[in-house]
């Protein structure tokens, strides 16, 4: 297991330790409310169905109800850094995906991500858990159930809540951005276009004419071939044909082209 995966597991487990028992208490409180309502109406046999109906109302909790529940969870858990811990969990998940699927060459990846606050995350965790617990509502039954079995049922309820954490975290991840940043091939670097050919003068030797004795007596001459036709300002004057023109080629540091990455808004993940 890589270091990134270890960090992801540790952060998730710590978050689960703080939240799962508190959410389980919340669901048991809902079950108690259903039981009390059925007792007042003398319909104890409807306790299970009433509890299931209350679970379906969780997505529609008012802001006041949700705020009170979040305040209770934070107070009981005694965690003053819940917001930072939640941010760490999301970063760990995204870096874990990068370690497995990243196909680029850069050591940093910028991801646009709108992180949910603690209230929104807890509400989403409640909704996912409620859908799962609705199917196994019998685990909350206590009448006529031995204490040993009740203890096992409580553990199973917490396991159901625990299994929803991964789904909730993934539901907030920016999958489209992750796919574009991690899973696609980086664009090929475009080669710079060659510079346009400059106007120049070509010097050519005139071959000897073997059939003419006069040509043998003459020294070899140089003819000037102009290519292409130049303006007055572009003409080159030749002063000494015995010396070759020296052109200094500046040294180019290729590494400077890789420096200076611009940073915009978003998260920068060091891979």
| Residue pLDDT tens, the chain, 271 long | 677 788 889 999 999 999 999 999 999 999 999 999 999 999 989 999 999 999 999 999 999 999 999 999 999 999 999 999 999 998 888 887 766 555 555 445 566 677 889 999 999 999 999 999 999 999 999 988 999 999 999 999 999 999 999 999 989 887 776 666 655 555 555 555 555 555 544 445 555 554 555 555 555 544 544 555 555 555 544 444 445 445 455 554 444 444 444 444 455 455 5
Domain residue limits, the chain: 3-183
pLDDT at res. 213 = 54
Record the tokens describing residue 269, joined without a space. Answer: 């993940």
Q: Note the residue count of the chain.
A: 271
pLDDT at res. 184 = 55
pLDDT at res. 84 = 93
How far is Cα 82 from Cα 120, in angstroms, rounded to an integer?
13
DSSP secondary structure, the chain, as one string: --HHHHHHHHHHHHHHHHHHHHHHHHHHHHHHHHHHHHHHTT-GGGHHHHHHHHHTTGGG--HHHHHHHHHHHHHHHT-TTHHHHHHHHHHHHHHHHHHHH--SS-SEEEE---PPPHHHHHHHHHHHHHHHHHHTGGGG--TT--HHHHHHHHHHHHHHHHHHHHHHHHHHS-HHHHIIIIISPPPPPPPPPPPPPPPEEEEEEPPP-TT-HHHHHSPP-EEEEEES---TTT------TTSPPP-------GGGGG------SSEEEE-
């Amino acid at each position: 297991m890589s270091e990134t995966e270890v960090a992801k597991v540790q952060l998730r487990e710590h978050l689960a330790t703080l939240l799962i028992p508190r959410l389980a208490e919340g669901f048991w409180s809902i079950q108690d409310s259903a039981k009390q309502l059925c007792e007042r109406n003398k319909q104890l046999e409807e306790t299970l169905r009433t509890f299931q109906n209350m679970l379906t109302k969780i997505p529609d909790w008012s802001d006041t109800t949700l705020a009170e529940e979040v305040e209770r969870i934070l107070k009981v858990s005694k965690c003053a850094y819940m917001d930072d811990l939640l941010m760490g969990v999301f970063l760990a998940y995204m870096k874990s995906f990068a370690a497995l699927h990243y196909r680029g060459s850069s050591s940093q990846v910028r991801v646009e991500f709108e992180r949910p606050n603690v209230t929104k995350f807890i509400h989403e965790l409640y909704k996912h858990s409620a859908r799962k617990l609705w199917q196994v509502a019998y685990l909350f039954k206590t009448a006529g159930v031995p204490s040993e079995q009740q203890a096992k049922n409580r553990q199973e309820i917490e396991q159901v809540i625990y299994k929803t954490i991964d789904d909730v975290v993934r539901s907030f991840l920016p999958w489209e951005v992750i796919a574009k940043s991690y899973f696609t091939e980086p664009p090929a670097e475009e080669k710079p276009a060659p510079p346009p050919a400059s106007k120049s003068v070509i010097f050519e030797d005139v071959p000897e004419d073997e059939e003419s004795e006069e040509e043998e007596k003459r020294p070899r001459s140089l003819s000037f071939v102009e290519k292409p036709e130049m303006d007055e300002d572009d003409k080159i004057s030749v002063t000494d044909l015995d010396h070759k023109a020296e052109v200094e080629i500046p040294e180019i540091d290729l590494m400077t082209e890789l420096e200076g990455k611009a940073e915009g808004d978003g998260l920068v993940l060091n891979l």
